[in-house]
Homo-oligomer: A and B are copies of this chain.
Amino acid sequence: MADIVATLQRELGDCVCTRPEVLAAHRRDSWVLSELFDLEGRPAPLPGAVVEARSTEHVSRTLALCRKAGAPVVPFGGGSGVCGAIVVPEGAVVLSTRRLDGLRDLDAESLTATFGAGTNGMEAERAVEKQGLTMGHWPQSIELSTVGGWVATRAAGQFSTAYGNIEDLLLDLEVVLPDGSVLRTRRTPRASAGPDLRQLFLGSEGTLGVITEVTLSLRRQPQARRGQAFSFENLESGIEPIRRLMHAGWRPPVVRLYDAAETSRLFPEICPEGRALLILLHEGPTGAVDAQAAGVAAICGECGGEEVEDSVVDTWLETRNHVPSFRALLERGLILDTIEVASTWNRVAELYRNATESLRAVPGILIASAHSSHSYQSGTNLYITFVARPEKPEDRAEIYRECWRRTMEVALAVGAGISHHHGIGRVRRDVLSGEVGETGVALLRAVKRALDPDGLLNPGALLPE
């Protein structure tokens, strides 16, 4: 590994960093199990070097040199992933996109913006906001994650029910393939020109190429915006009005239903105790917002919803990205995570009941709750939270795995999707065959071998070992 570091330093000069604190900061992403291992004094190994590429050409040369040397390379964006897609092999080369940043082009007529892949999410939003525009993409990680990382992980945003997820906003991209060649997709609103090549990299988690530039489709800041909230007997009875409003053709950007446990934890004293809270945000031309709010209110009323003071929507908007640090919770002896799954409407209630019930049987469990936050014509997601405090803190990794094992088992048993938007990484790789079948895994491996025959790009992520 020392050889490749020396080669990179010779070829790429001061893009190559080997300072211990920089190496340490690029060992892993924000997976809670990696955080736990740090705390337990068994941290992920150090990379050999971090290449902070300043151009597509730098990325291309790095990949070509690593291929020649047989050295593993781990692409690195914001490091905010939570599934362990990044746990760097000892001495590997980390290829950071951090300096491939900034707004490179804005087409105010077509409403498109082109960013360096390493652009921080919030900086990207601020750059287009100045022109009265918005990406309409609000992942909770927006202050930490990068535009390229959104593509590599198939990210979802909080406003997705109207505006779609990253695959719906992505117009074109530039990707450097493992052999150093550069793929540039066409900037066209829609194409029937063979398989959509962008899709190979959406969700590839750094295993098939390094995304260097991303063009997104923007929207104007809405003319009107209006919040609404209702309470329901429980999560199951709150799912029905969401299904109905989606099928009626309404599309509020935000549709979030919290089960009773999350409602009382997150919005105490707002909702009658023990009920599930549904919050909605409508956006668009004034006439459309008014018609939609009236239509949604009628549906919620028919389904037993009671109106709740709509200031709760403002509260949510202000606090939506405040999350406690994993570290602080781990230091209190807890183990926890969130697991997002998705289901067609006919199985959502069963998925919710079976998953929370199964989690409640885990020793030391304190919380097993869920909310729905991204709805579609055919179904919705469930964002499940578990928190446990095992008697012995050293059992936490085991308890963590047990919670995941149970939730994945329930998801597969009811026919749900194993991941809505966090990705596969290492935490789900052994159940990927449940999602896409053995044939799907074999197909992914065949594509991987075709692009990266030596398996050098982000080894250990996505595909089962």
In the assembled complex, the CB of A203 is this many whole angstroms from the nearest CB of chain B, namely 5
A255 contacts B by Cβ under 8 Å? no
Separation of A290 and B436 alpha carbons in the complex (Å): 43
Instruction: Tell which of A24-32, A227-235, A281-289 binds the partner.
Output: A281-289
A404 contact set on B, CB distance < 8 A: none
A42 at the interface (CB under 8 A from B): no
Partner of A450, one of B181, B195, B447, B462: B447
Contact A189 B450 (CB under 8 A): no
> Contacts A194-B203, A194-B462; is A181 near B442 (CB within 8 Å)?
yes
Which B residue sits closest to A442, measured CB to CB?
B181
Is the Cβ of B292 less than 8 Å from the Cβ of A288?
yes
| A171 adjacent to chain B (CB < 8 Å) | yes
A156's contact among B112, B192, B193, B444, by CB below 8 Å, is which?
B192
Give chain B residues whose Cβ lies under 8 Å from the Cβ of A153: 192
Please tell me which one of the listed residues B156, B185, B195, B204 contacts residue A203 in the complex, with CB atoms under 8 A apart.
Answer: B195
CB of A461, distance to nearest CB on chain B (Å): 10
Instruction: Tell whether A432 is near chain B: CB-to-CB under 8 Å.
Output: yes
Return the chain B residue nearest A284 by Cβ: B249
- Whether the Cβ atoms of A376 and B190 lie closer than 8 Å is yes
Chain B residues with Cβ below 8 Å from A320 are none
Partner of A285 from B196, B249, B290 at Cβ < 8 Å: B249
A377 within 8 A of B: yes
Chain B residues contacting A185 (CB-CB under 8 Å) are 436, 440
With A194-B204, A432-B193 given, is the CB distance from A177 to B447 under 8 Å?
Answer: no
Can you tell how many copies of this chain the complex includes? 2
Residues of B within 8 A of A401 (CB): none
Taking CB atoms, residues of chain B closer than 8 Å to A378 are 110-112, 171, 189, 217
A450 / chain B contacts, CB cutoff of 8 Å: 446-447, 449-450
Contact with B along A97-112 (1 / 0, CB 8 A): 0000000000101111
Residue among A153, A195, A380, A435 with max Cβ neighbours from chain B (10 Å) = A195
Q: How far is the CA of A332 from the CA of B330 in the complex (A)?
A: 80
Q: Interface size on A (CB < 8 Å)? A: 98
Instruction: List, in ascending order, chain B residues with CB within 8 A of A287's CB.
Output: 290-292, 294-295
Partner pick for A344 among B112, B344, B435, CB 8 A cutoff: B112
CA distance A345 to B171 in the complex (A): 13
Bound-complex Cα distance A449 to B287 (A): 53
Q: Determine whether the beta carbon of A440 is less than 8 Å from that of B377.
A: no
Q: Which residue of B lies closest to A448 (CB)?
A: B450
Q: Could you tell me the distance in whole angstroms from the C-beta of A150 to the nearest C-beta in chain B?
A: 10
Q: Which of B220, B247, B447 contacts A111 (CB 8 A)?
A: B247
Asked if A444 and B194 sit within 8 Å, CB to CB, the answer is: yes
Q: A406 on the interface (CB 8 Å rule)?
A: no
A288 and B295 contact, CB distance less than 8 A = yes
26 A-B contacts, Cβ less than 8 Å apart? Answer: A107-B346, A109-B344, A110-B344, A111-B247, A111-B378, A154-B196, A181-B439, A182-B439, A186-B418, A188-B343, A189-B342, A189-B377, A190-B376, A191-B418, A192-B419, A192-B421, A194-B436, A195-B202, A195-B204, A196-B202, A197-B443, A199-B199, A249-B288, A287-B294, A288-B292, A443-B451
Q: Top 5 nearest A-B pairs by Cβ distance?
A: A188-B417, A287-B291, A199-B199, A189-B376, A154-B192
